[in-house]
Chains A and B, each alone.
Chain A
Amino acid sequence: MSNADIALMAHLMRRAGFGATRDELEQLVGQGYENVVENLLNPGDAGVMPDDVIRRYHSEMAEMRELNSAGAYWMYRMVTTRNQLEEKLALFWHGLFATGYSKLNQANALVNQITTFRRHSLGSYKTMLVELSKDPAMIIWLDNHDNHRDNINENYGRELLELFSMGVGNYTEDDIKECARAFTGWTLGNVEYMSTRASRDSIWPYSRINWHFNYRDYDHDDGEKTFLGHTGNFNGEDIIDIIVQQEATARFVCTRLFQFFAADDVNEAGEAVISDMMATYFASEYEIRSVMRTLFNSDYFRSEESRFARVKGPVELVVGAVRMAGTYQEPTFGADQLARQAMYMGQGIFQPPSVEGWHEGAEWIDSGALVERVNFVGRELGDPSNPGVRAIIDRMSRQSAGALSPEEQVSACADLIGPLELSEGTFTSIREFASEQGPADLRDGSRTEADEQRIANLLRLLTATREYQLA
């Protein structure tokens, strides 16, 4: 098993998921790259922390009333799932179809929205857009409950075209109006009561009542519409059928997927990959699974050029650190901190800054966010009592023929936490710290708590490096 194989698999798992431990990487390399990709694309039993166990321990996650508890509930799943791509894609769709708690006052509806994303994340983009249009949280978020047969509200129709499919410049204002007409009558059950409650966020008698989709035939405009050059008595499904056939839609969704999973910045080589993804999009009748297969198996994605070409988003960072540290595998007191930490770093789950979602890439990093990132990850990976940290120390112990020199300590830690490709400057700085700490003898019989803490200190320091902040 070569170091190159490990590095490639680590790259795949950082992008298609939230990262993997060395034990996991070795197992995955044994399966072969293409097989791992297929397993990611065809998820089986997720093996996540069971809902009953979560709800028994966390009353707030049973009721799903409070924002950060709902976020942490999702993060439990990200932390424990075997289907990492499924959750990573759900996170991608949450950023693309950004829906926020502030207008809904209904965390449970947002959790259900993520379930919908998960259910359709690898399937047809056409189905995804239809289900998105029926999603109660989206209906309230973009006011489609106020989109009536005799008085249209364009908000959802506009964003469906601008932010969820084609992008500006590919349709007219008339297309927006016709699109909105087609989605009249797409609303919630008991919409008058539910929208009153959502807008007031009063202390409801018996807490939230979750929402469900309801189609009001009597409120739907069934008249003739002309949309993107097509004419007919279109309903919402017909509009989406036209939308997904557009090249602009293919370019939009493939580019967003590329930027989330491959590289923040698209260069010439990246453009070629996006073209291939678009061809797959049409050949597969808009199937996201096929599009992702094209991306992950591309030479570009597998090349060293695409590695560490993305800044880890806050949720990615938090979940990746927790998975590596092996914490939060069981219901944990104060687990809502997981969501709060990501929020402090600039990505509050269910709290996108606007309907456009988060600005990603280098914008994730500012001085305040960086401190939060370093502090949280440092706490997780700097504690030798955490199972994942102990596993790293145990592995170094098994590989030790004698006391480890500062160079050996830094190299081993960087290898097992990534592998990270440290710049010369970073390596030198951390080696100097290791030299000040002194040698670490991890061999059985020689190993002391101080030795273990030295390694944990190095792991903590490594999480503060530029290299660790990149995926």
Chain B
Amino acid sequence: MISENMLKDVVVELLRKTVTVMPADVVNELKAAMQRETEDVPKMQLKAILDNLDLAEKTITPLCQDTGVTIFYVTLPRCLDLDVGKAITEGVRIATKEVPLRPNAVHPITRKNPGDNVGKGMPWVNYKVWDKDYIEITVMTKGAGSENMSQIAMLTPSQGIKGAKEFILNTVLRAGSNPCPPTILGVGIGGSSDIAAKLSKEALLRPIDKRNEDPEIAALETELKNALNELGIGVMGLGGKTTVLGVNIEYAYCHTASMPVAVNVQCWAARRGTAQIFPDGKVKYPTHER
């Protein structure tokens, strides 16, 4: 049976896994980047990145000190009589102490830090309902260095896809060495200003070795990745062949007068984790199965 207490324990374990072990698709792409690289400086940076991943996993230590703010995506079966939000909040509080996570959440104006990553609107939980019988909880522990480089543009329909590409290119150029490249770009096209921004982050939940199901969007993802890797910003902005590890695009229909485009920049340390909690109490962590 699923209880709030059990969910809280799952949230702690999910956070522990998420901040200490990277999903395989990102590790594979980092290793491929190392294989491609010919220059000494980016090679040295990639070696540090890969050595650090090994060390973090072996010692069960957060691989990056910036464990982000806790943004959750939860999908629930219909008619569930549980306060999932409360369990998540408690889980975050405990994980901050036990994993530990860095206490990052502060009041936006006073900058006061309560020390437990819990405050108004934090953890932030996005809810959906589905027809399946299990609960799915996904968390992204994303650092601010890359989040701070994210951008949104309300383009006009006449600027079209060309305008979108130009905006994505300019976002990468403006970010330069700052977001811990090689980055992953989550792109949200369409919807409205808020929906585009939301889609751009949700795009980052998809593994980078999976292309969008729509063949046209998939081709656009590949085109952008190849072009952006010609820029030479490279690893940590110190040059080299890999500036982006992947480009993931999600879209939604939008108003005939609008063309919203949002880019969410994700550092190489793209930590995401998912837990599935089944009615019999079994728990699976599909992002962290080896």
Are A and B bound to each other? no
Residues of B in contact with A (beta carbons under 8 Å apart): none
